[in-house]
A and B are shown apart, each in its own frame.
Chain A
């Protein structure tokens, strides 16, 4: 751990964060708004990477956790008049419970079967939201009365601070002995168990941590947007974007996932002049990266550094 603070990765990350923190003084509110969303997405992607890259669980339903957190916070704020910060906290708690529910099948089934369960979880959540439209706002979305801040710069700093703190915790966890046990149990559960590690306990912990950060980030995101809708926090397309971001940035690197998310969102915006082709181009680029650089951005850089 101490060697990490002297490593080049840490120095680069520190410089990037300091640079990012000064952005509100010289870029427009439009770019700040874009990056704010990108940072929340970065937390989604990092939480997903903890589950996939380390625990080896293919979770196709990151939006089940995100959406539960986001909608719980939104409903508490909108219908029950709960103040903003307790709502966000309850959103995170609800996401942890959702993570627990999602973890139960993961302990029984593996691979594609678990992947499908998570996909179905998202579809059920989506149907639930549409059916109970009185409570959730249905397909139109839920209006949230409170907002984090009306100032673009403050919103940006909240998002950046949140992402940096989450990244530090998630990265620290992944490099700790717990992360190593998780990695071992993801790759060979039988042998990891034979070495005396409690796999069930570790995997459950990974699910809970991942769910906590996904839900917290989802709740913050809806208070930034001022609205919660299926299209922004629950839809499978959102989940796909989270997965693509994590794989693009480099799986099993945690920090790469955040880079991938920022790249995806910013690239999508840069391609806006191409109109409807934007999604096509982003998907094509992501596909090419997966085919030719399967380790992703950060993974490729790190492995080159390790070789030299």
Chain B
């Protein structure tokens, strides 16, 4: 019975992690940017959905849409105001652009976080779930919302796969991650590719944020841990490898759920961190990474 419970809870958490980390790794794969404002964008989406439903009295579907739209806008704002100026700057030497992007997105994330705390306080907010109620799966009482979360995550990841592998835009994005210069020579504007990727990322982070808000609730304190967990999942799976992050998300999700149920919720994140350190020592490029 407990095993089944871990199986179900772990699946929902892992699917959510996977969704959050996919966009993160996509951006790294295509433009080499690690976006440390990730957690802030996810929380902003959840808080926007919460505000739309509770302050502006919208129904939960429209609320969720507002959340996703806010995340997409914030993501594009991140690209245009923070990332692009650094990439184009001629004052910063190329080999140091990485640390500048990291520091700048981190500061940007703190600004979003503080703005949320200022306008909507630090209190934890739970977005009203789209589907309520519980179902009984072989004796395990499971909230329908948890199943809904898992289903949406899988669906969105599937759609992303179709988008990247089966459409023309997706193929350009894929090509840009393999050889940016080649894509430019074929006549595609690299900036447009980046805009597409940041928009996709924003939608993914937004959906993940809103679902997280329905499933566990968020507050501006969740920003740091959310960024850290996406970062570690992505590195565990191999930077830039989408399938690697999917596997890593499930490894981390199940490891955390297992620890929380079998040992103590207080130790929840420790085994995953230790695993990460071991992987870094033995296989620094991650599970499926290429160097």
Q: How far, in whole Å, are A105 and B284 apart by their CA atoms in the complex?
A: 9
Which residues of chain A (187-202) have a CB below 8 Å from chain B? 187
Query: Which of A105, A237, A294 touches B100 (beta carbons < 8 Å)?
Result: A294
Q: Which residues of the other chain, A, contact B267 by a CB distance below 8 angstroms?
A: 127, 131
Say whether A291 faces chain B, with CB atoms less than 8 Å apart.
yes
Contact, CB under 8 Å: B280 / A105: yes
Nearest to A105 among chain B residues (CB) is B280
- Interface SS of A by simple majority: helix
- Chain B nearest CB from A231 CB (Å) reads 12
When A119-B228, A244-B107, A291-B85 are in contact, do A127 and B273 touch as well, CB less than 8 Å?
yes
Say whether A284 faces chain B, with CB atoms less than 8 Å apart.
yes
Count A interface residues, CB 8 Å. Answer: 38
Q: A124-B274, A279-B114 are in contact. List 18 more A-B contacts (CB 8 A).
A: A58-B102, A109-B280, A112-B235, A113-B239, A116-B235, A187-B95, A236-B224, A240-B110, A244-B103, A247-B100, A277-B114, A280-B118, A283-B111, A287-B107, A290-B107, A291-B104, A294-B91, A295-B91
Contact, CB under 8 Å: A276 / B111: no
Q: How far, in whole Å, are A108 and B235 apart by their CA atoms in the complex?
A: 15
Say whether A255 faces chain B, with CB atoms less than 8 Å apart.
no
Q: Which residues of the other chain, B, contact A280 by a CB distance below 8 angstroms?
A: 110-111, 114-115, 118
Can you spell out 6 A-B residue pairs with CB atoms less than 8 angstroms apart?
Answer: A105-B284, A112-B235, A116-B231, A124-B274, A240-B110, A276-B118
Say whether A130 faces chain B, with CB atoms less than 8 Å apart.
yes
- Chain A nearest CB from B111 CB (Å) reads 5
Nearest to A288 among chain B residues (CB) is B107
Contact with A along B250-289 (1 / 0, CB 8 A): 0000000000000000110110011011001100110000
Contact, CB under 8 Å: A112 / B106: no
Going nearest first, the 4 A-B pairs with the smallest beta carbon separation are A280-B114, A109-B284, A287-B107, A283-B110
Q: Which residues of the other chain, A, contact B117 by a CB distance below 8 angstroms?
A: 276
Q: How far, in whole Å, are A115 and B101 apart by their CA atoms in the complex?
A: 13
- Chain B nearest CB from A190 CB (Å) reads 13
Say whether A52 faces chain B, with CB atoms less than 8 Å apart.
yes
Taking residues whose C-beta sits less than 8 angstroms from the other chain, chain B's interface range is 35 or more
Q: How far, in whole Å, are A290 and B86 apart by their CA atoms in the complex?
A: 9
Contact, CB under 8 Å: B107 / A120: no
Which residues of chain B (74-100) have a CB below 8 Å from chain A? 82, 85-86, 89, 91-92, 95, 98-100
Query: Which of A112, A119, A244, A277 touches B118 (beta carbons < 8 Å)?
Result: A277
- Chain A nearest CB from B283 CB (Å) reads 10
Q: How far, in whole Å, are A291 and B104 apart by their CA atoms in the complex?
A: 8
Which residues of chain B (214-228) have a CB below 8 Å from chain A? 224, 228
Q: How far, in whole Å, are A117 and B278 apart by their CA atoms in the complex?
A: 10
Say whether A89 faces chain B, with CB atoms less than 8 Å apart.
no
Pick from A116, A117, A283 the residue with the most CB of B within 10 Å.
A116
B residues contacting A by CB (< 8 A) are: 34, 82, 85-86, 89, 91-92, 95, 98-100, 102-104, 106-108, 110-111, 114-115, 117-118, 224, 228, 231-232, 235, 239, 266-267, 269-270, 273-274, 276-277, 280-281, 284-285
Contact, CB under 8 Å: B114 / A276: yes
- Interface SS of B by simple majority: helix
Query: Which of A113, A123, A124 touches B235 (beta carbons < 8 Å)?
Result: A113
Nearest to B121 among chain A residues (CB) is A276
Q: Which residues of the other chain, B, contact A279 by a CB distance below 8 angstroms?
A: 110, 114
Q: How far, in whole Å, are A115 and B34 apart by their CA atoms in the complex?
A: 11
Q: Which residues of the other chain, B, contact A113 by a CB distance below 8 angstroms?
A: 235, 239, 280, 284-285
Query: Which of B111, B114, B228 touches A123 (beta carbons < 8 Å)?
Result: B228
Which residues of chain A (251-308) have a CB below 8 Å from chain B? 276-277, 279-280, 283-284, 286-287, 290-291, 294-295
Q: Which residues of the other chain, A, contact B269 by a CB distance below 8 angstroms?
A: 123, 127
- Chain B nearest CB from A295 CB (Å) reads 7
Contact, CB under 8 Å: B277 / A240: no
Contact, CB under 8 Å: B111 / A284: yes
Q: How far, in whole Å, are A294 and B118 apart by their CA atoms in the complex?
A: 29
Nearest to B280 among chain A residues (CB) is A117
- Chain B nearest CB from A184 CB (Å) reads 13
Q: Which residues of the other chain, B, contact A119 by a CB distance below 8 angstroms?
A: 228, 231
When A113-B235, A280-B114 are in contact, do A294 and B284 touch as well, CB less than 8 Å?
no
Q: Which residues of the other chain, B, contact A112 by a CB distance below 8 angstroms?
A: 34, 98, 102, 235, 239
Q: How far, in whole Å, are A287 and B239 apart by their CA atoms in the complex?
A: 26
Pick from B115, B117, B284 the residue with the most CB of A within 10 Å.
B284
